[in-house]
Structure 1
Amino acid sequence: MTTTSRRRRLAAVAVALAALTGLLVQVAVSASAAVPPTPSGWSLVWSDDFNGNAGTLPSSTNWIIDTGHSYPGGPANWGTGEIQNYTSSTSNLSLDGAGNLRITPLRSGSGEWTSARIETRRADFKPADGRILRIEGRIQMPNVTGNAALGYWPAFWALGSPYRGNYWNWPGIGEYDIMENVNGINSVWGVLHCGVNPGGPCNETTGLGASRACPGSTCQSAFHTYRFEWDRSVSPNQLRWYVDGQQFHSVSQSQFDSTTWSNMTGHAGYFLLLNVAMGGAFPNALGGQTPTPDTVPGRPMVVDYVAVWQSGTTTTPTNPPGGVDARSTIQAERYQAQSGTIVETTTDTGGGQNVGAISNGDWLRFDGVNFGTEAARQFRARVASGAAAGVSGLVQVRLDSPTAAPIGDFALANTGGWQSWRTVPANISGVTGTHTVYLTFSSGQPADFVNVNWFTFSTS
């Protein structure tokens, strides 16, 4: 969606409020479908089925609602030239009571357009080494075509986590446009943004993209399933785009220099976004200045579900609450129990929270960590320390009991500050199966010596 910094201006169009009421057309949608069962050989990382009472906002546990014409301190008009004002009003953003989310652009009597944009709180969607990450949504684009659709710009996409709090590092941190559409055209676009702007290996500000018509029914008249896969199980890695299971675009790691690829994939992961913009560079490029007086408000994008899976049968329905793939990025603050620690806001890449105030004898417990059948032999943790000179300690991994013998550990002293983060590896004894994982902390001094943001396990 962040495809260009070009900005356009459009004179406001006065429309009577009575006319607006008559144009709020309800879209006929098929019966809602639940998140599909997890395919064999995969594990569910995260999902939202948008179940809830009609007229309510989506889960605040899962989603952040963006408002206004930009991020605070970020590019105007969201960097794309789109003209709408994003709001948290249930007129623009709400569940429909039938298992769907609706994002509805509206035009006021004075001509102002409003709409909605949401993004996942999680910003760590990334495949583990040797795995495939699948991001999928079942969506009906706004059911409007022709002149009435000029300026509509629905999208389902992902941005690299370092964008949060910076807003000026695009496109280097990466953007995966899983589904984009403009002006009611019966086509889905899949686009990668990366590198530098303008030009660079992703041909910015256009990006590396492809498009195709939706199979069977048009994109506007029916639900279709839009999927993106990030494949780290092959070398070179691959990125792939699908509609209704049919691949229509792919990009290979071999197309990029190592710095570009690392900047795009070497951070903590991605957060997901859903929005309907009005006007801006992409619709203007294909339809002239948009929206126009003929553009009809009130046609929602309808989202049935969003889900993220990872290849590898490492999470099963029998896992207890909190069950997690050992090879995923496990956020430290998502423990099931702890002793002696606090949770605080982090300034580390991707934002969110970290666990802090950790000293000798403290511990964190994580239930149902599934290592699968291939033994994990390495542990990596994202840690920081502002400990005084001479204060250090061990970060230890134990299984099933906080007093069990550690299967691995590493030592840590001052890293330059309590928010000066580094990723530290440690070898561990080979682990398979599902376990309760304890992070325990040991030091010869009573003072705090470490903060932890996240950790993960891998085969090597």
Structure 2
Amino acid sequence: MFAALAAFILPLTMVTTASAPAQADLPPPPDGWNLVWGDDFEGQAGALPDSDKWIVDTGTSYPGGPANWGTGEVQTYTDSPENIGLDGQGNLRITPRRDASGQWTSARIETQRADFKPADGETLRIESRLQVPDITGEEALGYWPAFWALGSPYRGEYWNWPSVGEFDIMENVNGIDSVWGVLHCGVDPGGPCNETEGLSDSRACPDSTCQSGFHNYSFEWDRSGSSSQLRWYVDGQQYHSVDEGQIGASAWSDMTDHAGYFLLLNVAMGGAFPDGVQGGATPTDATRPGEPMTVDYVAVWESGSGGDDGGGDDGGGGGVDARSTIQAEDYQGQSGTVLETTSDSGGGHNVAQIGDGDRLRFDGVDFGATAAQQFKARVASGAPEGVSGLVEVRLDSPTAEPVASFAVAGTGGWQSWQTVPMNMSPVTGTHTVYLTFTSGQPADFVNLNWFTFSTT
């Protein structure tokens, strides 16, 4: 999204069959994947996207950052319902407008979370089902819809691009039936990612044009092999990839050895990319305003164990002896948490970024006929002084009265682990166990590696 491509691939075919209409809910995770985060844009028509999930950018730059968002685009971003809002049918619409004086406005949003990154040995998949503005020819000149990701260190710095990394999952310009996938990294100009163009490829959308229907635009960051790989897809068909070895260890480390990425959706007007493809300044007098990008959902999945219990779909599994060591990452549902690689003995993952209102769900926990009377959990906390909270055990409902509870404050670090025992109300039989987390502060306060129940 930052830079123009000097060349582009003109699609060889134009298929006009429209794809299926928008769907209301997030799709179930693909086989072998689990939901990390998602938004299906449900809500009242005209409402802004969920502020717990999204930041609405406004103006012509970040404070102190490059002018015109670093790309030469000409519009001003706003939070006006004329430019951005839910449509009441499970979609987000971002619509460029032009006023009587010829000034363009549009909208851009980015996720609150900036930590999207696969765990060691896993693969992260980022996907959106969307329809780019349904406009072509001279009337489309300057339209630049995009779905992309920026490295988290960019927030607050704004001058460390492209070293922090940028994954352009879907870019489309000037109403051309083509999706571009681009990696930006290293230094500008030149460097291992050939800046400012980036490492890119493109293709026509399958079955129907990009403009005439919804398509799934996906990106995978694969850390499962000896060398990591990035892959781009449209409707499940791969058309671009970059291997770690192509750009070298130093540039790869700069763009991956940080907290992760935040996601963005926007429709720019004009700028380096559409101007470069057109061979002249865009938009023009012929450009027609008012055509939206329509977004059905955004989802982030990761391979491996886990699931989601907060607007997403359940993981598999369930059914475990309450007296075994139950790994926190083996939940069947969750809300508000993420997985990370743990330094605790035994390795694997712990559940992280746990704060007030978050929860984990474990199905079919068998306590047997002899009552369990103690709960024990392995926790760590790097919360600052004055930040603490409760770890609670509830049965069969996340709002049931807790059968066990203990308080956690800072343990000296997010990987400084302690085992905390706590007496509990006697429990027999098989139950769905909810671990809920309550705090008087908005900050995260605990990580969880495992837990177990015992008779004493």
Q: What TM-score do the two structures reach when normalised by structure 1?
A: 0.71
SS in 1 for 2:385: strand
In the other structure, the counterpart of 1:81 is 72
Cα distance change of structure 1 residues 93 and 42 upon mapping to structure 2, 3 Å threshold: same
- C-alpha displacement of 1:32: 2.8
In the other structure, the counterpart of 2:306 is 314
In the other structure, the counterpart of 1:188 is 179
Structure 1 residue 146 and structure 2 residue 142: aligned? no
- C-alpha displacement of 1:40: 2.4
In the other structure, the counterpart of 1:207 is 198
Distance in 1 between residues matched to 2:19 and 2:208, nearest whole Å? 14
Structure 1 residue 109 and structure 2 residue 100: aligned? yes
Aligned equivalent of 2:249, options 258, 265, 271: 258
Aligned equivalent of 1:356, options 379, 384, 394: 384
Q: Which residue identity does 2:273 align to in structure 1?
A: F
- C-alpha displacement of 1:28: 11
Distance in 1 between residues matched to 2:200 and 2:447, nearest whole Å? 34
Distance in 2 between residues matched to 1:324 and 1:275, nearest whole Å? 26
Query: Do the aligned residues in 2 keep the contact of 1:210 with 1:248 (CA within 8 Å)?
Result: yes
Aligned equivalent of 1:395, options 401, 416, 435: 416
Distance in 1 between residues matched to 2:123 and 2:99, nearest whole Å? 44
In the other structure, the counterpart of 1:3 is 3
Cα distance change of structure 1 residues 456 and 182 upon mapping to structure 2, 3 Å threshold: farther
In the other structure, the counterpart of 1:172 is 163
In the other structure, the counterpart of 2:297 is 305
SS in 1 for 2:383: strand
**Superposition map of 1:192-271 within 5 A:** 192-271=183-262
SS in 2 for 1:286: helix
- C-alpha displacement of 1:187: 0.1
Distance in 2 between residues matched to 1:301 and 1:328, nearest whole Å? 38
Give aligned pairs, total.
Answer: 360
Q: Which residue identity does 2:302 align to in structure 1?
A: Q
Distance in 2 between residues matched to 1:203 and 1:263, nearest whole Å? 16
- C-alpha displacement of 1:2: 1.3
SS in 2 for 1:147: helix
- C-alpha displacement of 1:244: 0.2
Structure 1 residue 330 and structure 2 residue 363: aligned? no
Q: Which residue identity does 1:3 align to in structure 2?
A: A
Distance in 2 between residues matched to 1:393 and 1:228, nearest whole Å? 30
> Deviations along 1:95-145, whole A, 9 cap, x unmatched?
011111000000000111000000000000000000000000001000000
Structure 1 residue 71 and structure 2 residue 62: aligned? yes
Query: Do the aligned residues in 2 keep the contact of 1:356 with 1:452 (CA within 8 Å)?
Result: no
Query: Do the aligned residues in 2 keep the contact of 1:171 with 1:194 (CA within 8 Å)?
Result: yes
Distance in 2 between residues matched to 1:39 and 1:320, nearest whole Å? 17
Cα distance change of structure 1 residues 255 and 52 upon mapping to structure 2, 3 Å threshold: same
Aligned equivalent of 1:96, options 87, 108, 113: 87
SS in 1 for 2:333: coil
- Unaligned runs of at least 5 residues, structure 1: 7-26, 338-353, 369-382, 386-391, 405-433, 439-450
Query: Do the aligned residues in 2 keep the contact of 1:70 with 1:78 (CA within 8 Å)?
Result: yes
> Deviations along 1:338-368, whole A, 9 cap, x unmatched?
xxxxxxxxxxxxxxxx832159xx5663889
Distance in 2 between residues matched to 1:73 and 1:384, nearest whole Å? 37
Query: Do the aligned residues in 2 keep the contact of 1:100 with 1:304 (CA within 8 Å)?
Result: yes
Query: Do the aligned residues in 2 keep the contact of 1:336 with 1:366 (CA within 8 Å)?
Result: no
Cα distance change of structure 1 residues 58 and 394 upon mapping to structure 2, 3 Å threshold: closer
Query: Do the aligned residues in 2 keep the contact of 1:384 with 1:452 (CA within 8 Å)?
Result: no
Query: Do the aligned residues in 2 keep the contact of 1:4 with 1:79 (CA within 8 Å)?
Result: no
**Superposition map of 1:416-455 within 5 A:** none
Cα distance change of structure 1 residues 201 and 114 upon mapping to structure 2, 3 Å threshold: same
Query: Do the aligned residues in 2 keep the contact of 1:43 with 1:325 (CA within 8 Å)?
Result: no
Cα distance change of structure 1 residues 120 and 277 upon mapping to structure 2, 3 Å threshold: same
Q: What TM-score do the two structures reach when normalised by structure 2?
A: 0.72
More displaced 10-residue stretch of structure 1: 113-122 or 258-267: 258-267
Distance in 2 between residues matched to 1:328 and 1:74, nearest whole Å? 36
Distance in 2 between residues matched to 1:453 and 1:260, nearest whole Å? 33
Distance in 2 between residues matched to 1:394 and 1:303, nearest whole Å? 38
- C-alpha displacement of 1:320: 5.5
- C-alpha displacement of 1:186: 0.3
Distance in 2 between residues matched to 1:48 and 1:320, nearest whole Å? 15
- C-alpha displacement of 1:167: 0.2
- C-alpha displacement of 1:256: 2.1
- C-alpha displacement of 1:268: 0.3
Q: Which residue identity does 2:290 align to in structure 1?
A: G
Cα distance change of structure 1 residues 189 and 456 upon mapping to structure 2, 3 Å threshold: farther
Query: Do the aligned residues in 2 keep the contact of 1:150 with 1:295 (CA within 8 Å)?
Result: yes
In the other structure, the counterpart of 2:391 is 365
- Unaligned runs of at least 5 residues, structure 2: 7-17, 308-313, 316-331, 341-348, 360-381, 395-409, 425-432, 438-442, 451-456
Query: Do the aligned residues in 2 keep the contact of 1:5 with 1:81 (CA within 8 Å)?
Result: no
In the other structure, the counterpart of 1:290 is 282
SS in 1 for 2:148: strand
Distance in 1 between residues matched to 2:445 and 2:61, nearest whole Å? 28
Distance in 2 between residues matched to 1:159 and 1:456, nearest whole Å? 28
Query: Do the aligned residues in 1 keep the contact of 2:411 with 2:417 (CA within 8 Å)?
Result: no
Query: Do the aligned residues in 2 keep the contact of 1:5 with 1:79 (CA within 8 Å)?
Result: no
Q: Which residue identity does 1:293 align to in structure 2?
A: D
Cα distance change of structure 1 residues 393 and 102 upon mapping to structure 2, 3 Å threshold: closer
Percent identity of paired positions between Structure 1 and Structure 2: 59
Query: Do the aligned residues in 1 keep the contact of 2:5 with 2:197 (CA within 8 Å)?
Result: no
> Deviations along 1:269-325, whole A, 9 cap, x unmatched?
000000000000000001111000000000000000000000013224543555654
Distance in 2 between residues matched to 1:324 and 1:169, nearest whole Å? 26
Query: Do the aligned residues in 2 keep the contact of 1:138 with 1:223 (CA within 8 Å)?
Result: yes
